[in-house]
Every structure is written in structure tokens, then in C-alpha cells.
Amino acid sequence: MFHAIQRRSLLTFASAALCGVLLASHTLNASAQTVEEIKKKGTLTVGLLVDFPPYGTVDSSNQPDGYDADVAKLLAKEWGVKLNLVPVTGPNRIPFLLTNKVDLLIASFSPTPERAKQVQFSRPHSAATIVLYGRKKMNIKAPADLKGVRVAVARASTQDTALTAVAPEGTDIRRFDDDASAMQALLSGQVDALGCATTIAQQIDKRTNGEYENKLVLRQQYMAPAMRLGQPDLLKGVDAFIGKYVDNGELNKLYKKWLQVDLPALPTTPLPLAN
């Protein structure tokens, strides 16, 4: 009986060890992914937000759309592959990337030191201004005025980080799963103000006849595609793509299509990640 148990234990250990080897091998293969491997596969799978218009949204057929979607389509065309767009959220976009559900992210993603510990960013392809947005009658002229104010943000977003960095003790920061939920909290009166991009603020303006206004600029942010660490060839390929289409004006055309303004001047290299 003891020997039978011992044999079963050894088999279990061996199976677990084999699974570990296979998993490690799969992880290594994923982290070694190159542009040529994507071309050989024939499909580029990109994660993007669909709750951050006009960067990420859905069309009349409920398919991913927006500036980031158009950039992903342009990248797939450049590499001669089919495109598979996968909706992600702010909290799950890094897990989707690290578990190989997507090849890369073009998901309104701003480089930060904390994020750079988990993923690597290319040079920026986009930009946005993050503001504190609230009712006109509210007297908010500086971060100190936020004490006691209820502010909604999308959890784990750049606006969450920017607001947390300046909010004084006593600010009631309420975190929601996405921008749409945070925006609804403002419109329904659950909160007094919203941390969001100016594009979200513009959407609210259209629905509320100017009841709200931008109170504070929290951050001017750049956004960049992200991929798993240890993929220098893929990073080089994405950088080259962005450089080519910034220089020939195609990214500017897409940006104007969605935001009605010119694409701001972008850094030509990945951003320094100083705290």
C-alpha cells in the first residue's frame, strides 16, 4: 500500500514537473515573439479599450472602433496580416497581455514606471489631456479644494493615478470598472466630479447643455502600444511603424478623423519613466 501511494506521488510530481516545463516553454516562446512570427501566424491580435471614445469605442454593429482601432488596422495592413481586435478594460489589459490572450495592446495606455515593470512600451502614438470635470457652480480651483469632494475615476487608469497623486486627505475617490461607469456616476449624482480625458468631458457636454466644466488639468499624457517584456524585435517593429506613419501624416489623418484636431507633437522614442 505504501509503495502504491509512493508511486502515485512520484507520478503526480513528475506530471506537475512536466506541466511546469511546458508552461515555462510556452512563456518563453511568447516572450520571444517577433514580427516575423506574427506574419507567419497570419493574424495580429490587439487588445483595446471600447469605453474610451473616441480613442476606443464600438460602431453601430457593436464592433470595436475608434482611433486606436484604426491604428491597429493600419498596423495589421503594414504587416500584411489579418486583425483580431479584443476588447479589454483598464484593470484587465495587462493580464490579457501577460497571459497571451493578445499579441500587444493599443489601448489608450500611458507609460508609467509601475506599468513598465510588467510590460514594455513603444514610442507614443497618441496623446490626451486628463482633467477634473465637475459642475460649474463648484468652487474648485486647486487640488486643496477637493477635500470632501466625491470624485469618480476608472479604476487603475491614468486618471486614477493622476488624481490620487494630487488629492488631499479627505477626498472621496470612488473607483469604477471603466470610464462609462464613472461617467454615469457623475450624471446620476453619485459623485460631484469626474477624473477623465477631455474627450470624455466633450461627450458629457453634448448630453448636458454645458452644466459642467473642466476644473483642473491633472495630467498631459502620452499613450503608447505595449507588449510583453523581452520582445526587442516586436518593439523595434512597432516603433518603426509609428515613425513611418507619423512622418507620412497618416496617423495625423486618423487623429483628426476622430478628435477633429491635429495629432500633438509626440516623443520620437519611448518615454523616460522617471517618477
What is residue 52's predicted lDDT score, i.e. its pLDDT?
A: 86
Q: Work out the average pLDDT over 198-206.
A: 88
- Cβ neighbors of 209 (< 8 A, separation 6 or more) are none
Say if residue 82's pLDDT is above 90: yes
Higher pLDDT, 249 or 110: 249
pLDDT digits (tens, 9 = 90+) for 225-238: 999 999 999 999 99
137-189 per-position pLDDT tens digit: 999 999 999 999 999 999 988 899 999 999 999 999 999 999 999 999 999 99
Q: What's residue 226's pLDDT?
A: 97
Tell me what pLDDT residue 83 has.
Answer: 97
Q: How high is the pLDDT of residue 71?
A: 98
Q: Does 54 sit behind a cis peptide bond, omega within 30 degrees of 0 on the bond before it? A: yes
Domains of the chain in start order, with CATH, are 32-125+224-259 (3.40.190.10), 129-221 (3.40.190.10)
pLDDT for res 22:
37
Q: Which of residues 202 and 42 earns the better pLDDT score? A: 42
- Of 186, 215, 217, 223, whose CA–CA distance to 66 is shortest? 223
Determine the Cα–Cα distance for residues 155 and 269; give it in Å rounded to an integer.
28
C-alpha to C-alpha distance for 87 and 92, rounded to whole angstroms:
10
Mean pLDDT of the region 240-267: 94
> Which carries the bigger pLDDT value, residue 51 or residue 22?
51
Tell me the C-alpha distance between 80 and 75, whole Å.
9
pLDDT of residue 273: 57
Q: Are strands 150-154 and 172-176 parallel, antiparallel or unpaired?
A: parallel
Q: What is the pLDDT of residue 272?
A: 62
Grid cell at residue 64: 470595436
pLDDT of residue 119 exceeding 90, the answer is: yes
Q: What is the pTM of this model?
A: 0.70
**Bigger pLDDT: 108 vs 18:** 108
Tell me the residue type at 106: I
The residue-averaged pLDDT of 180-207 equals 93
